[in-house]
Structure 1
């Protein structure tokens, strides 16, 4: 007789309910410490459970998945896809409901990548967070400079450019002479705005506290840079070690370079059996327009929620492909720009890129240019 288990996962507790085909039920609550989770696994083994389902609650499902996946057929289920029991709500009832819909085969598991892909994901998502932290530190640096009346950011295109870095590092070392700071600025910036203007923008008023705070901000920026370089290096190292063929195939696509290919592999893996079609992958990523229509009127065509890390990288790749001369993506972007907004045209190219990526990984064939 087959038995099914539903797990309602929380930060400090796991509610378990085991159901059998003859409606026998066994319920128990476990803590989330490793010994308790191992005892939960032993309990499932003792009851002869074959299939287990649990909700993907934040990050709390990871430890439980790692302990159970080797002994059971585990399904990770999006809570939105499980209807809650009507009436008074309780965690035990939630676990029972999960076990019930699992026994009736009314739910399907979410995509959980293999261990090596999960390791790549950790690097890729850390890179995304480090980029955000780096930008915040650079903005804090510019605010500090503006407070001291250093206005160089008014004349550069990016506050994180080399000229800004050199000037700030010099100020942090107490080199405040405007002529010396001017010598650190790139000649193109000086020619564009004029030497006198740039010198005036580098003439400020500093206190010892201002310089100390600026020094701490510079240390933060350097720290984020070092961590970014390390994560990127390790990400590429792992990708070439385990997925060398797939990396070589993906970089044949216009707009997709080494780092982008590594990011794509870290989010979707290389085995396309998890996604039955390119359309399924597009929907999972959140690049498919929603179908919001009523009484024959289209109320919205915004994209769906999906994997934000993959979507961000695909849009960047689509922008690069749209600017690659002679590519089909450039012609496609220009064609779409005649009748839609720039952002919509980019999303359309990102969607097409993902379809091509699915076919390349599924067929293990390089990209070849054609009309799209």
Structure 2
């Protein structure tokens, strides 16, 4: 143990921070409780630097650790710790003892810091997670609007593929503008839908009883949906601009993966960054994301094989990519999905998780080695084609 080492443990709460500074001989040098306002944080930083603190650790308590981290990161080495890994044994517990325990674990090198990306990636994370939150709001309000229309006898959503589709939205706009005639409303529906279900069925589906109150609700809900879509577009535009400015090569490289376009590439960079040094292996990144099946075996019996907890934002976007990649023709992921689900009769949902894990492993290698995606399936097809051409050439010469 370094005899010149002075460390600090911070127990962070919503309205208070408990500080414990500990020396190399595990002697407590300083203890104090601080507030969470910016002047309090600056005073705490000054007190820590005045006492020679070079390392500090804190638990990742909700979002309350973020301003503390931002205030201290320029003055000392910081570690953000998952509370799960430094839980004390039950017994005498207090906030001061928690701070002491964190400092003691840090002093004895028992703490492994969590991944905290650089400032620009943190800003990109804010935009990416804002888009995901807005997308949840969009789904909620879209379903509420359809439910309000269903109460009025409007059943077009039963016969179209998407509520956000052109036919549904065109008919909705006409209803909000005051149109009630089913003959005019059906003119806004795509001909393929009419041919598939029959004109009389679709005409009955767009016939409803709408009061003035219903129209007000429709108009207001649609305005909320339009506002959410505008905000999502604004966030995505800014996120794409940041990727293009700071990580242009990685942004282009990720889009060589089947199923990855602008939205997915920006989300991946926002959640993982581009520096893979924090993840020693691809398995470390997979475990951090939460796509690694847990190992829970007792007496030779598997109790659980569910995936672990991790970065749910990255996991969500990877599962979406997996669904698209499994439907992309002539690529490794679609071939893998076909073999596993059709030939081996495995669960389609589980296979999507497996594909998401394979995509994340590919991302780790691409960002670590600065290489584009290489599709093994296409490479094998090309090798097979070349062998067939060589065989035909050899046979023609022998003839």
TM over 0.5: yes
Asked if the contact 2:20–2:28 (Cα under 8 Å) also holds between the matched residues in 1, the reply is no
Are positions 1:103 and 2:81 aligned together? no
SS in 1 for 2:9: strand
The residue number in structure 2 matching 1:11 is: 14
Match of 1:328 in 2: 332
Write the mapping of 1:140-289 to structure 2, written as runs, cut at 5 A. Answer: 140-289=144-293
- Say whether 1:351 aligns with 2:357: yes
- What is the alpha-carbon distance in structure 2 between the residues aligned to residue 80 and residue 232 of structure 1? 34
CA distance in 1, matches of 2:147, 2:28: 65
Matched residue of 1:49: which SS? coil
2:347 to 323, 341, 344: 341
Displacement after TM superposition at 1:247 (Å): 1.1
Change (3 A) 1:25 1:58: same
Q: Contact 1:169 / 1:218 at 8 angstroms: preserved in 2?
A: no
Contact 1:3 1:21 in 2 (8 A): yes
Q: 1:21 aligns with which of 3, 12, 24?
A: 24
Query: 2 CA distance for matches of 1:271 and 1:190?
Result: 52
**8 Å contact from structure 1 (residues 292, 300) kept in 2:** yes
Which range moves more in the overlay, 192-201 or 267-276?
192-201
Q: CA deviation at 1:308?
A: 0.7
1:2 match:
5
Q: What secondary structure does 2:91 align onto?
A: coil
Q: Contact 2:8–2:103 at 8 Å: present in 1 too? A: yes
Question: 1:230 deviation in Å?
Answer: 1.1
TM-superposition CA deviations, 1:190-209 (whole Å, max 9, x none):
22112222121111112111
Question: How many aligned residue pairs are there?
Answer: 372
CA contact (8 A) 1:85 1:93 kept: no
Matches of 1:339 and 1:195, distance apart in 2? 40
**Residue segments in structure 1 that go unaligned for 5+ positions in a row:** none
* TM-score, normalisation: structure 2: 0.91
Q: C-alpha deviations, 1:53-74, integer Å up to 9, x for none?
A: 0000001111111111111100
- Identify which range, 206-215 or 19-28, moves more after superposition: 19-28
After the TM superposition, which segments of 4 or more aligned residues of structure 1 sit over 4 Å from their partners?
none
Deviations 1:7-44 (A, max 9, x none): 00111111111111131331111111111111111111
Instruction: Please report how far the alpha carbon of residue 254 of structure 1 lies from its aligned counterpart in structure 2 after TM superposition.
Output: 1.3
CA distance in 2: counterparts of 1:160 and 1:326, whole angstroms = 30
Q: Is the Cα–Cα contact under 8 Å of residues 19 and 33 in structure 2 kept in the other structure? A: yes
Deviations 1:288-320 (A, max 9, x none): 110010111122211111111111111111121
**Rg comparison, structure with higher value:** 2
Query: Secondary structure at 1:215's aligned position in 2?
Result: helix
Structure 2 residue aligned with 1:315: 319
1:80 aligns with 2:88: no
In the aligned structure 1, how far is the partner of 2:325 from the partner of 2:239? 23
| Structure 1 length-normalised TM | 0.97
Partner of 1:296: 300
